[in-house]
Every structure is written in structure tokens, then in C-alpha cells.
Structure 1
């Protein structure tokens, strides 16, 4: 019998300090965060939409029926280092505060693809959704929702790639069918479960899955405003001049022969490298950062052929 440990990485109850810090560091994504909070809140606790309709429209609103059978599925699509996986694993902290409820973060293991044995992948995926159903049902009672479950599937294209691909193995097709059945079973089930698929190859996902998504969030490389916000936050306390930050924004932007830097290029490569170069003998200075920004190549753009 398949256990929870076979299907998921250790479950994390949110809010949790490390992930909340990660959520706050994702600057420049305020519009995405706000939309995500609203979408997630309505999927997790549909009664809130009814309460809104009663307060602002007298309660009899035909549009509410359009929300009844929405699949609790989000697709996070974007290039490497664009923040999609970090947000997928941390937005539950904000949702927990907003709903004043605990949020349980589940992360599906890629082991659910199985070893290729006939029926194994279908069984594993079915087991994962059955577990989420059970967890969601336990968190729902007469007085309403007591906890929200978020299931994150990273590198989702490895699990639910399009069944139209000619080279696709029969077992993989069966796995996609099982995943779609799992999503359909959650739609309208009124259990507080949200599924988030993260992918660098949104074009590789099965079209039927994309049609079911309640929302698709597209993550791009940061623009000038976003890079300024990221760098200003990351460099706070180092005494770096405002003019230098402006130059860094320009140096890390796109040019004719390369793309702009990703969020992770700035926060995991540029600034940490400058700190490590200065440690332990001297402070970080403006020139350190400018020289690094000129020499640091951005992460290559991910393509469907990668």
C-alpha cells in the first residue's frame, strides 16, 4: 500500500518563518500576489464569495454559479529563476494570515511517475489525489473550513505533458488521464484543496489540463522597476549609493545579445557573490557590484528544446 511518505515530501504547516521570509523577498510581484490571494481564498472557502454577494449585491447574484465547479488548479508558468516555484511554496503563508487558518503545504514527489510498470503511475497519482481528498474532508466541518491544503507539483511538464506528443508512452498517457480525473474529482467537491503546477514548458502541458485551470500565472524576467526593487531590498544596509543601484538596474537589463537577469540571478548570484568577495576583510563597495554586474552572464532563456 502506498504511504504518504511515498507520495509527498514532508508536509509543512504554514505560516512558517523561512517561507514567509521568502514570500516577502519576492518583491515586484505585488499584482500577482494580490490576484493569487483572491483566487486562492475563493477556492479554499467559497462561502466568502457568498458573503460578499450578500453584503454588496443583496445575495442573489447569477455570476456566483460560474464559480461553483471551478477546478482548484493554478498553473505557474515562466522561465527559470522567475520566482514561480518560490511563490508556489510560500503564498500559503499570506493565505493563512488572510483566512486566519492554518495551511498545509504538500509537495508531490516526481517518484509518482513510477518505474514504468503498467498501471503503477495511475495508481500513484490516484493515491495522491485520494490523500488530498481525505485531508481536505477532515479540514471541513459544520462550522466551515478549519485548514487549507496546497499541493505543489514542480516540473509539472514531466508528469502531465501533452497526450498529443507522438513519442508519449502509453503509461504516461494513462498518468495524465489519472491526473485529470483527480482534478475533476476536486472540482465542486467543496474541500479546501488547491493544486499548483509549476512549469518552464507551459506549451508541453496537456491542453485539457490548461482548460481546467482556474487561473494561469505567467512569470517573466524582472523589468527595470522590479530589478530596482529587488536590488534595493537586497542591498539595504550595505551603504550602496542610489546612483549605483540605478547603474546596476541598467547593467542587469536585457541587451541586443542577451536577456535580462532573472530574480534568482540577482538574489542568489550577484549580491551574494559581492558579499563573499568582500568577506571577511573589507566592506562591500559600489565598484564590487558594478564589476560583477558587467561580468555576470544571466541565466539562459529556457526553450522547449532545452
Structure 2
């Protein structure tokens, strides 16, 4: 989210690229009800939600340059002793974070304790209680992740966490109508399992198409389904291998956002080209892409 009077507020993408040495790509901008794929002259404004592509090694320096670097999450509270919480807590512990899981069901707490690392603290209690959250350190924690089975509870405890200045708040919300409400109430990090499952189904449906030159490897819906991000595996019979990207006539609202070659991520420029064996990341708005050839006029 672009903050008012931040270093990127009111700046064009061309100006940002001149000032920032780290290579990056702003591939989507959400501005109110409008969603668009920006170009070099596009100017970012306060309130914009932007989607940025950068290499893993360059992410820290880019976020620092953009003034978006947040404190590393070392203390995390997870509400809801679900399977997702189990996997997330394992990853956080491996990353040397301190994790506390809260659930109001005693049997779920017991099952979580039996199936997870003993470095995770499990608390039997109702996280809808503000007193409990304060007692368990909500005012000192770096992040809260609300993963209960109730959307309304996840939203309410997340809003309370934001009011307590928790740096990072993530809420699981299944119902689309509640997602819009949560965003209007100031929650900017919402996870929808329904949308994730939908992405997987669509990915397999696209992969069933007998395409020439490429095949869909991964697919994700972004910006409430207005934009798709797809990864294609490029085969030897793709017609445009070896052609510089600046010579490709792409359809409107389509962007080649990345190339994966021999395990290395490339943020492509006009002089780069696609080769057989590459993975190619495509961002597309409106257009349903079934093969890599579909992005060419």
C-alpha cells in the first residue's frame, strides 16, 4: 500500500527506476475500483495497492529503498489450532521465530501439542477476549494471524490487533462479501482459501488444453480475480524463442513479468529473449491465457 507522503507517493515508475538501483517491476496497481497494469509513465498515488516483482536476493534492499521495510516478525501469535496453523508454526519456528497458538477448543489444543514442535506455546482460551490477548502479549507481538473457522471472529480480532499497533496482521476470510468489508475497515492482508482452491482448479483446467509451444505450470488470481499471474513452461516448438522481447507485439494489458532460466530468476528487459526450457511469468488483465502464444497479437 502506498502511504501518503512516502518516497513513492506521486512518483512515476520511470523516476523510481532512476533513483533505485535494485531491479524491480511494478506489475499491477489497484486504485479504488480500478485495476490496471502500469507503464513507465504511470504515477503512483497514496492509497494505491501495488504488486511488485523483485528477486529474492534484492527484496530487502528494494523494500528499504521504497521505505516499506517492516520489522522482522520474531514473535507471532496464531489464533486457531488448524492444519494451516500447524504448517505455519513449523515454518516460523524453523525461521527462529517465537510462536504462540491460541484456541478455545481444548481437544484441538491437545492435538496441536501432540503434533507439533515443543517450541510452540499453545494456549487454551478464547482470543475474542481482549483481556486474554493482552495477557498473551498482543501489545508486544510482531504479528497476529487469525485462522479460526469463523470469518467474523478473524476480522474482529484483526481489527483489534491493528488498534493495538501490531505491525503485521493477517486474517483468513472465506466469504467474498466479508473480504470487501474487512478491507474497508483497514485490513490490508487477507487470505482466502476459497480463492486459492479456485486458482488450483483453473490451473489444471488450463493445463488440460492441448497447447503448442508452452503449458501452464502455475496460475494465481490477483486483485479479486481481475488479473491473472501465470507461469508457462516453454517447449522447443514455441514460435518466438530467440526473439528479443522489445520486438514482440504483446496484446493490451499483458506483461511478461519474469523468466526462470536454469533455476535463476530474471527480471526481463527489452533485450532479453525467451528460450526453450524457460519458465515465463505472464501478468494478464481481462484476457484468458491458455498458452504463451496467446499473449502475442
Q: Same fold, TM exceeding 0.5?
A: no
* Higher relative contact order (Cα pairs below 8 Å, separated by 6+ residues): 1
Between Structure 1 and Structure 2, the one with more helix by share is 1
TM-score normalised over the length of structure 2: 0.31
